[in-house]
């Protein structure tokens, strides 16, 4: 569980399935749900394992929820908004009920549905239909085509992907040298500000305000030059495609960057420590959890077990 370590006085209300949750404006959906004791956000499609936020940094995809009728929104990357309708995915009601568990009881050695009821054909078709619907296909968005989209093309000398300490230190140097550049990060500004403070020896960083935040790069494509004989001289620039706007927003900006130099300062991902049931809700990565707590101005309450060592584990 989480509890506030600073009072803001403001409250934002969201509905998660049938439950009304009072969150704080600094919360993401993930911290609001964890704070309310709602750890499970979905079930995995095939084995119907319960799922909940793990990395809290947008990497693992275990925190997917449906928001205002839009499926597959990452709870850890989505700030709360008054009146949000949030639903768990691929679950029955009540959420903890899983009627498909009966399959494990009937087929104790596992079910090979490829060789089950293969004849007559009609029986096989019915069984396949039933089995597929039982495990869940997901649901389409309630409304389609309502999302506004804007396209922006941008040629520039340097593009930095990642606004952690390395990316922002480089951006500060480029600014000093008067070199035009852009720095993008898929985290929003409150998440970037929640990064741990660096020591006194650390280099100066570009301010978070300079970052094109909430902008995720989803593709880096080779430049158009193919190295063919007779091809015109000129820079062979990669196309970097990025999207700004967040998953639950109604407006999206699509950037097509053509940088002369491309710098990856993307950092590392939280690894999942191998142990039995490490995928169950309530098991979270320390680095992402610390950043989420800083962003939400919260601390952990109750007991928890820390596995591992190092800065994040000790934090
Ligand atoms: S992507 Fe949200 S917890 Fe990993």
Ligand 1 centroid, distance to 247 Cα (angstroms): 13
Give the containing element (helix H, strand E) for 154: strand 148-161
Tens digit of pLDDT for each residue in 13-48?
999 998 999 999 999 999 999 999 999 999 988 788
Tens digit of pLDDT for each residue in 166-204?
999 999 999 999 999 999 999 999 999 988 777 778 889
Pocket probe for ligand 1: among 41, 53, 67, 246, the residue whose CB has the most ligand atoms within 8 Å is 53
143-152: average pLDDT: 80
Tens digit of pLDDT for each residue in 53-86?
999 999 999 999 999 999 999 999 999 999 999 9
238 has a pLDDT exceeding 70: yes
Q: Fold match between 2-94+270-314 and 148-264?
A: no
Ligand 1 surroundings by CB, under 6 angstroms: 53-56, 58-63, 74, 76
Per-residue confidence (pLDDT) for residue 130, from 0 to 100: 79
CA distances from 302 to 3, 152, 296 (A): 10, 48, 17
Output phi, psi for 283, to 5 deg. -95, 115
- Looking at residue 76, the DSSP 8-state letter turns out to be G
Ligand 1 centroid, distance to 58 Cα (angstroms): 4
84-87 vs 148-161, strand pairing mode: unpaired
- Looking at domain 148-264, its CATH class is alpha beta
Cα–chain-centroid distance for residue 90? 18
Domain ranges of the chain: 2-94+270-314, 101-135, 148-264
Per-residue confidence (pLDDT) for residue 202, from 0 to 100: 84
Among the listed residues 149, 156, 163, the one whose alpha carbon sits nearest the alpha carbon of residue 181: 156
Tens digit of pLDDT for each residue in 301-310?
878 888 887 7
Dist CA 315 CA 191 (whole Å): 17
- Looking at residue 162, the DSSP 8-state letter turns out to be -
> How is residue 301 written in tokens?
């309450």
ipTM of the complex in this document: 0.99
Atom of ligand 1 minimally distant from the CA of 288:
3
> How is residue 211 written in tokens?
């970052």
Atom of ligand 1 minimally distant from the CA of 76:
2
Pocket probe for ligand 1: among 57, 67, 284, the residue whose CB has the most ligand atoms within 8 Å is 57
Confidence of residue 4 (pLDDT cuts 50, 70, 90): low
Q: Which of 114-128, 160-174, 260-274 has the lowest mean pLDDT?
A: 114-128
Confidence of residue 233 (pLDDT cuts 50, 70, 90): low
- Architecture category of domain 2-94+270-314 in CATH: Roll (3.10)
Atom of ligand 1 minimally distant from the CA of 74:
2
């Amino acid at each position: 569980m989480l509890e506030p370590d600073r009072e803001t006085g403001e409250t934002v209300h969201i509905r998660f399935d049938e439950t009304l949750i009072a969150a704080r404006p600094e919360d993401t959906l993930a911290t609001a749900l964890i704070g309310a004791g709602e750890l499970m956000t979905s079930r995995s499609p095939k084995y119907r394992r319960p799922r909940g936020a793990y990395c809290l940094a947008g990497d693992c995809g275990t925190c997917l929820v449906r928001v205002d009728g839009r499926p597959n929104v990452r709870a850890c990357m989505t700030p709360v908004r008054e009146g949000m309708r949030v639903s768990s995915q691929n679950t029955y009601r009540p959420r903890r009920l899983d009627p498909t568990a009966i399959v494990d009881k009937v087929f104790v050695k596992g079910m090979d549905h490829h060789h089950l009821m293969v004849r007559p054909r009609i029986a096989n078709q019915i069984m396949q239909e039933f089995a597929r619907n039982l495990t869940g296909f997901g649901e389409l968005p309630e409304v389609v085509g309502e999302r506004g989209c804007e396209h922006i093309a941008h040629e520039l000398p340097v593009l930095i992907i990642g606004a952690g300490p390395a990316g922002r230190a480089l951006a500060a140097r480029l600014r000093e040298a008067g070199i035009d550049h852009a720095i993008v990060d898929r985290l929003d500004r409150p998440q970037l500000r929640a990064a741990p403070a660096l020591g006194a020896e650390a280099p100066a960083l570009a301010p978070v305000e300079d970052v094109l935040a909430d902008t995720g790069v989803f593709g880096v494509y080779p430049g158009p030059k193919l190295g063919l004989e007779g091809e015109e001289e000129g820079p062979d620039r990669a196309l970097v495609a990025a999207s700004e706007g967040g998953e639950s927003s109604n407006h999206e900006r699509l950037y097509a960057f053509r940088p002369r130099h491309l710098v990856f300062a993307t950092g590392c991902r939280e690894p999942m420590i191998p142990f039995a049931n490490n995928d169950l809700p309530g098991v979270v990565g320390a680095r992402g959890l610390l950043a989420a707590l800083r962003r939400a101005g919260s601390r952990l309450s109750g007991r928890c077990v820390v596995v591992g060592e190092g800065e994040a584990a000790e934090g």
